[in-house]
Amino acid sequence: MLLAIDVGNSNTVIGLYDGDILLHDWRIRTGVDQTIDEYAMLILNLLRTANIRRESVRDLDGIIISCVAPPVLNILEPLCEKYFKMKPLIVGPGIKTGMPIYYDNPREVGADRIVNAVAAREKYKDDLIIVDFGTATTFDYVTRNGDYMGGCIAPGIIVSSEALFERASKLPRVEFSKPKTIIAKDTVTSMQAGIMYGYAGLVDGIVERIIKESQSHPTVIATGGLAKIVAPETKSIDIVDDMLTLEGLRIIYLRNV
């Protein structure tokens, strides 16, 4: 079995694979102030819910981690050695991805962006744009030949919403959800409409510009926690793939063992 861990700035997604089958997956908050033992107890309890007992942990063949929050990586690496008795594979410089990265400095590309690109290329084998709705919303372009060409980064939906609440004293914090109308009659719905449809427009606008610049006809894949909410309101997103990052981790692990 393989334990795949994707650490984002806001959330951490954990997947347990048996071969190419995803047996279980969990989403937890990313905590930078937890100790090694606290993080270990959380992961072991999640495994226990999947009937993976402490003694069965020995059945793990490996652990792979992608992380954009360095303080958490400093927790997870010693955690794996202490509790799972193995050194995890970390997605980063020097790892085999099977994908040429055409970035001025490839070391600057977030591990999650590369992992998504690898999975999307393996699954869809087309010109691709991958939109990941995380703390930041990232857009990545991959050619049908499997070349990572780069992309762009925009503020994430929740980050933008929180900034609006914090900087505008009369505006409340609102739940991110689809409003019934774009011409809203109250403040909460007005904010929900602006955030939802503003972001849908942002996605469509950036995708349109990538298509124009690349002179391609790509399939647009959306992933991340909010993808299912935003995708139906866009014109450009073709497929929502919630497990894209975990699948990318599995593929990269196999290319490095």
Q: Does residue 150 contact residue 142 with C-beta atoms inside 8 Å?
A: no
Q: What pLDDT was estimated at residue 57?
A: 65
- Which of 106-120, 164-178, 208-222 shows the lowest per-residue confidence on average (mean pLDDT)? 164-178
pTM for the whole structure: 0.90
The answer, yes or no, to whether residue 58 has pLDDT greater than 70, is no
**Strand pairing partners for 130?**
140, 221
Distance (Å, rounded) from C-alpha 86 to C-alpha 89? 9
50 CB contacts (<8 Å, ≥6 apart)?
16, 23, 24
Please give the Cα distance from 52 to 48 (Å, whole number). Answer: 5
Strands (E), 173-250: 219-223, 239-240
Q: Which domains does the chain have, with CATH numbers?
A: 2-90 (3.30.420.40), 106-247 (3.30.420.40)
Task: Tell me what percent of the residues of the chain surpass a pLDDT of 90.
Answer: 68
Instruction: Identify whether 112 is a catalytic site residue.
Output: yes
Residue 87 exposure: Cα atoms within 13 Å on the Cβ side:
3
The mean per-residue pLDDT over the stretch 236-247 comes to: 96
Beta strand 89-90 pairing with 148-155: unpaired
Q: Is the pLDDT of residue 90 over 60?
A: yes
> Given this model, what pLDDT does residue 56 score?
58
Confidence category of residue 95, pLDDT binned at 50, 70, 90: very high
User: Which of these is catalytic: 112, 127, 132, 241?
Assistant: 112
CA distance 207 to 187: 30
pLDDT, tens digit, 9 for 90 and up, residues 26-36: 999 998 888 99
Q: What are phi and psi of 175, to 5 degrees?
A: -75, 140
